[in-house]
């Protein structure tokens, strides 16, 4: 068993496309865009048995003032990506349990050795929902955090999906429909950013205050069939905005759900239109990401999704813990914001 950096874009993407664990967030060009805009060095590792590639993991590495950081994906205020982590090869799911555990142990042993070689102080990895066996991390002393997302089964008939919504949700969708709302695809990232900055004012440091609009511009340009920006209009007024992505059999509500006009139930109507759009296009499930955020989960849950779990694993040594303490207790001072940006 060996671990090596993968330099072949075609080999990487072919592996991601075939694996049931591979997501759009693992695609080569997306990883490179994240590298460009995050300030981290991308290390796309491949895990091999003999000459056969059986797992990959994209790692983002940064040495900041002697503190060595490893993330997969980078912090949400830089990348706004829900998960990344380890991807096993296409036949992994069909293996008997003992074989699954053997390969997972092999993968973790090689990755742990590489992280040790890098002398990492903080390691943070968020796994995709289907990669739920995190025992190797537990056994190696990692902190495990349970995370949540919402999934909709789009294989159900449309009327069954509709009837499963809360009464309040259906009423607001009907009310929204009376306004003659129109949804249009756009590339106007600057307007989207301005809307989201205004919507999240008062929520502190976040993706839209920290990241450049060029990040989303690059993503839209690199993945025109997978990532789309939408605005919803009442006449000429924008009353809704969202960025969604799709890959394989899944449609994902990624950015958005901004309340722009409180007199119109635009979010309920917009989400329902996206569900219908995804179902008509043949996607089997829709993810409405954001179940961990208390301020939005009551809105998202009234569409009656299935609560789905995934895992974040994290480990830090004394230097990593000290650096985090300094960040949280000293650099979080608003008067030292320029220092925080310089370091992180």
| Neighbouring C-beta atoms of residue 20, cutoff 10 Å | 17
Task: Judge if 2-147+310-343 and 155-283 fold alike in CATH terms.
Answer: yes
CATH code reported for the domain at 155-283: 3.40.630.30
Mean pLDDT of 150-164: 97
Higher pLDDT among residues 257 and 181, named by residue:
181
Distance of alpha carbon 191 from alpha carbon 325, whole angstroms: 36
What are the extents of the domains in the chain? 2-147+310-343, 155-283
Instruction: Write the class of the CATH domain 2-147+310-343.
Output: alpha beta
pTM of the model: 0.92
The b-or-e profile of 280-311 (16+ CB within 10 A means b, else e) is: eeebebbbbbbbeeeeebebbebbebeeeebb
pLDDT in tens, 278-288: 999 999 999 99
Per-residue model confidence (pLDDT) at position 198: 82
Q: Does the pLDDT value for residue 265 go beyond 80?
A: no
pLDDT in tens, 194-206: 999 887 776 678 8
Mean pLDDT of 309-320: 94
- How far the first Cα of the chain sits from its last, in Å, is 35
pLDDT in tens, 50-94: 999 999 999 999 999 899 999 999 999 999 999 999 999 999 999
Per-residue model confidence (pLDDT) at position 325: 62
């Amino acid at each position: 068993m060996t671990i090596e950096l993968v330099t072949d874009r075609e080999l990487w993407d072919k592996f991601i496309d075939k694996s049931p664990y591979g997501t759009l967030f693992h695609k080569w060009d997306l990883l490179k865009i994240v590298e460009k805009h995050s300030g981290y060095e991308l290390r796309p590792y491949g895990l091999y048995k003999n000459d056969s590639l059986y797992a990959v993991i994209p790692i983002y590495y940064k040495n900041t003032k002697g503190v060595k950081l490893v993330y997969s994906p980078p912090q949400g205020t830089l990348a706004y990506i829900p998960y990344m982590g380890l991807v096993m090869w296409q036949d992994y799911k069909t293996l008997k349990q003992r074989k699954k555990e053997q390969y997972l142990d092999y993968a973790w042993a090689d990755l742990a050795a590489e992280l040790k070689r890098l002398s990492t102080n903080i390691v943070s990895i968020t796994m995709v929902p289907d990669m739920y066996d995190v025992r190797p991390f537990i056994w190696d002393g990692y902190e495990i955090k349970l995370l949540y997302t919402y999934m909709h089964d789009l294989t159900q008939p449309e009327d069954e999906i509709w009837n499963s919504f809360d009464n309040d949700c259906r009423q607001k969708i009907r009310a929204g429909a009376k306004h003659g709302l129109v949804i249009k695809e756009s590339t106007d990232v600057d307007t989207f950013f301005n809307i989201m900055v205004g919507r999240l004012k008062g929520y502190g440091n976040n993706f839209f205050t920290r990241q450049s609009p060029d990040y989303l511009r690059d993503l839209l340009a690199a993945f025109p069939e997978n990532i789309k920006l939408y605005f919803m209009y009442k006449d000429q007024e924008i009353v809704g905005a969202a960025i969604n992505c799709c890959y394989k059999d899944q449609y994902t509500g990624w950015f958005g759900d901004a309340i722009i006009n409180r007199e119109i139930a635009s979010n309920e109507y917009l989400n329902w239109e996206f569900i219908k759009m995804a179902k008509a296009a043949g996607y089997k499930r829709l993810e409405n990401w954001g179940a961990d955020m208390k301020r939005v989960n009551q809105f998202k849950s009234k569409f009656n999704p299935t609560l789905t779990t995934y895992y974040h694993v994290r480990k830090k040594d004394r230097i990593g813990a000290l650096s985090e303490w300094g960040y949280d207790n000293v650099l979080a001072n608003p008067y030292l914001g320029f220092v925080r940006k310089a370091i992180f």
